[in-house]
Amino acid sequence: MRLAQYYAYVFPSDSALAMLAGLGPLVEMGAGTGYWARRLRSIGVDIAAFDQAPIDGGRTNRYHPASRLWAHVEQGDQTVLSGYAHCGLFLCWPPLFSSLGDCLTHYRGDTVAYIGDGGYRTARLDHLHEAFTKVATAPVRALDPDPAVRPELTIWKRAPRPAGGLPGQARQGKLAVGAGNI
């Protein structure tokens, strides 16, 4: 667990980095120590990294206490995502009981890259399956996974919007304003 706190909760393999690099510019939420941002920048990826409690900020980061900062991470929560529609959204091992599950409420872009385990030890993204279609997966090596679940990198593209509405609207009957239906 100490390695996870010092670096990241998932080991950034060359294949995962290449997959992410192919998505174009990225915005990372919950960037923690900035380790993934550093590795991605080292291969030429344009990435903006955010965390509610950056390591060098005024708030204590409970997931990365007394850790090294690997790359610059801006202070910000998921509300900053509305300004990053031109970027793919990247989340790596978002904490299970964090507010990162509602990122899609604020994100207007077309691509999501999510590294997690689907809700066992990582946050599930609200409305991901309704608004996006999974287009690629790759196994990853988590440093503290649930033994019963295989963690993976999944790439999602925004589903075509139905005529006269947003994805998920037909099934729900009406769009709940502010409920994250994108």
In a domain, 22, yes or no: yes
More confident residue, 75 or 8: 75
In a domain, 90, yes or no: yes
pLDDT for the residue numbered 60: 60
Give residue 166's domain range.
2-172
Among 78-82, 116-120, 155-159, where is mean pLDDT lowest? 116-120
pLDDT tens, residue by residue, 89-116: 999 988 888 888 899 999 999 999 999 9
Q: What are the backbone angles phi and psi of residue 122, rounded to the nearest 5°?
A: -130, 155
* Mean pLDDT confidence for 124-128: 92
In a domain, 166, yes or no: yes
In a domain, 180, yes or no: no
In a domain, 181, yes or no: no
- The answer to whether 71 and 45 are in contact (CB under 8 A) is no
pLDDT tens, residue by residue, 19-68: 999 999 999 999 988 999 999 999 999 999 998 766 666 666 555 566 66
Work out how many domains the chain is built from and give that number.
1
Helix locations, the chain, DSSP H: 2-6, 14-21, 35-42, 128-131, 169-172
Confidence of residue 175 (pLDDT cuts 50, 70, 90): very low
pLDDT tens, residue by residue, 153-166: 999 999 987 665 55
CATH number, domain of 115, equals: 3.40.50.150
In a domain, 178, yes or no: no
pLDDT for the residue numbered 131: 95
In a domain, 182, yes or no: no
Instruction: Write b or e for each residue in 144-176: b if 16 or more Cβ atoms lie within 10 A of its Cβ, otherwise e.
Output: ebeeeeebbbbbbebeeeeeeebbbbeeeeeee
pLDDT for the residue numbered 143: 78
pLDDT for the residue numbered 176: 35
